[in-house]
Amino acid sequence: NIVLLNDKEPKIKTLIDNFSRELPKKMKYYERIFKELKLIVKNNFVDCFLQVIDILEITKHIPHIIRGSSGSSLTCYLLGITNIDPIKYNISLARFMHEYRTDLPDIDIDFPYNQREYIFQNIFKIWKNKVARISNHNMYHNKSALRQAIRDEGHRKFVPKFCSLNKIFNDKQKIENVKKKKDDLMGTFRCYSLHCGGIVIFEDDISDDMLVKDKQLKFNKDDVEKNGLIKIDILSNRGLAQLWDISKMPIIDYPSCDYKTINILTKAENIGLTFAESPGMRKIFKDIKPKNIDDLAKCLALIRPAASESKSKDSENILVYDDDAIHYIQKLTGCNEGEADIYRKAFSKNRFEKKMEFISHIKNNPNKKKIIKNLESLHYYSFCKSHSYSYAQLVWCLAFHKANNPKEFWCSTINHCHSMYKKWVHYCEAKKSGLKLVLGK
């Protein structure tokens, strides 16, 4: 079957040739990779994967993890883009890619925060005038529109956060002008700002009229999507810098079972574990007593507002991950995963027509109101399963070093972590480990 795909799309051979991991000789893996490659060919996604491979090739001496749904893809795992085997962790493909999705899937890459500018420099050096970062399009909202309207009426002094127009202007006509101008400005374009990490690599040199300034496109992420361009996010991660300073061991090589690590996790000794050291996480650790990456992934997802809200709406059908919502919708309607993901997204993005379409499918369900309330919780921030597992792997590695190499762990933690805690909290924990502290780096 893969040979037949090669005949239809020569780029697929290039993709397969770039696999850095062997495909396990099990039917589940063969079925999954064939399904993915068919979708990649059908929707012309090959270049998206190849561009990510090119970036990872020039950053291969720097560790990375992914965020978002690309960990749902076996193709990404075999290419070395992710460290998550979706078959092993039972992660469905639909959150990343399915037969109804024609827009390019996102592949967001986290690098150590202190290496990101170096990575950008290398990308700009290699692709020169063919690469640029994307913009955010900032629009006028209530406060910014009011301030701009005040300035347009000739007021040049500082405008306080809470201001009365009567104290700024004596002229009633000017006050009316400000109110009208403010209403006219609401929702209109205000200015460009630099996107946190999105880049686009073009086949040809970028023309000057597409740029706000050097290396910054006028396009925002929606413009990139409309124009069928590939956006790759190069993002910062402090936990990854913290880990890399302790050890250069690849994340995937850490032992999956270590009793010292399990001990500190089950005791909820989570201070210093980036992404998992908040008081809320400590409470969840105490309740769940995580013993492996599966448990950690669940903990990381449960702290998000959507999962908490879902738990309060329907304790029997908690939507821990976005993926749970897909399976929940499938079970209720009998639709396939792709259709279920469209309905999930409708509740997440508040798309009225699709929500009504879903509701029509469950109109005779006696628990209809409860189901709708549960799915409405998706409007809050949530994690997809692959994102949770990616960060769970990182937390496990940090916990491993906290348990087994405490001095190195606390030295790196103090140097890299900017957390909700005051610095003395980390200092006290470091002293307990036997680390002799000297102020400075």
Name the helix (H) or strand (E) containing 112: strand 107-112
Positive or negative, the Cα torsion across 407, 408, 410, 415?
Answer: positive
Query: Which range is least confidently modeled, 155-169, 185-199, 348-362?
Result: 155-169
pLDDT in the model for residue 2:
53
User: pLDDT class for 161, splitting at 50, 70, 90?
Assistant: confident
Residues 6 or more apart in contact with residue 154 via CB below 8 angstroms: 174
For residues 138-162, give the mean pLDDT: 88
For residues 262-278, give the mean pLDDT: 96
* Local structure of residue 267 (DSSP, 8 states): T
Positive or negative, the Cα torsion across 351, 354, 360, 362?
Answer: negative
Q: What is the rounded CA–CA span in Å between residue 47 and residue 44?
A: 7
Q: What is the rounded CA–CA span in Å between residue 364 and residue 14?
A: 50
- Per-residue pLDDT of 11-25, as tens digits, reads 788 889 899 999 999
- Per-residue pLDDT of 82-95, as tens digits, reads 999 999 999 999 99
State yes or no: pLDDT of 7 exceeds 70.
Answer: no
pLDDT in the model for residue 14:
85
State yes or no: pLDDT of 317 exceeds 70.
Answer: yes
pLDDT in the model for residue 123:
95
Residue 379's nearest CA partner among 305, 318, 326 is 305
pLDDT in the model for residue 287:
96
For residues 153-175, give the mean pLDDT: 84
When the pLDDT of each residue in the chain is averaged and rounded to a whole number, the result is 92
For residues 64-69, give the mean pLDDT: 94
- Per-residue pLDDT of 404-435, as tens digits, reads 999 999 999 999 988 889 888 999 999 988 88
Q: What is the rounded CA–CA span in Å between residue 13 and residue 3?
A: 9
Q: What is the rounded CA–CA span in Å between residue 297 and residue 391?
A: 7
Residues 6 or more apart in contact with residue 72 via CB below 8 angstroms: 86, 91, 92, 93, 94, 95, 96, 97, 323, 384, 385, 386
- Edge to edge, what strands does the sheet with 231-237 contain? 65-67, 107-112, 231-237, 189-201, 131-139, 216-217, 211-213
For residues 334-354, give the mean pLDDT: 94
Structure tokens at 47: 């270049």
Structure tokens at 91: 């992660």
Residue 46's nearest CA partner among 93, 80, 9 is 9
User: pLDDT class for 101, splitting at 50, 70, 90?
Assistant: confident
- Cβ atoms within 10 A of the Cβ of 291, count? 15
State yes or no: pLDDT of 3 exceeds 80.
Answer: no
pLDDT in the model for residue 289:
97
First vs last C-alpha separation in the chain = 56
pLDDT in the model for residue 117:
93
Q: What is the rounded CA–CA span in Å between residue 426 and residue 58?
A: 35
Length of the chain, in residues? 441
Structure tokens at 426: 């980390």
- Per-residue pLDDT of 172-218, as tens digits, reads 888 899 899 999 999 999 999 999 999 999 999 999 999 998 899 99
User: pLDDT class for 440, splitting at 50, 70, 90?
Assistant: low
For residues 215-223, give the mean pLDDT: 93
State yes or no: pLDDT of 153 exceeds 80.
Answer: yes
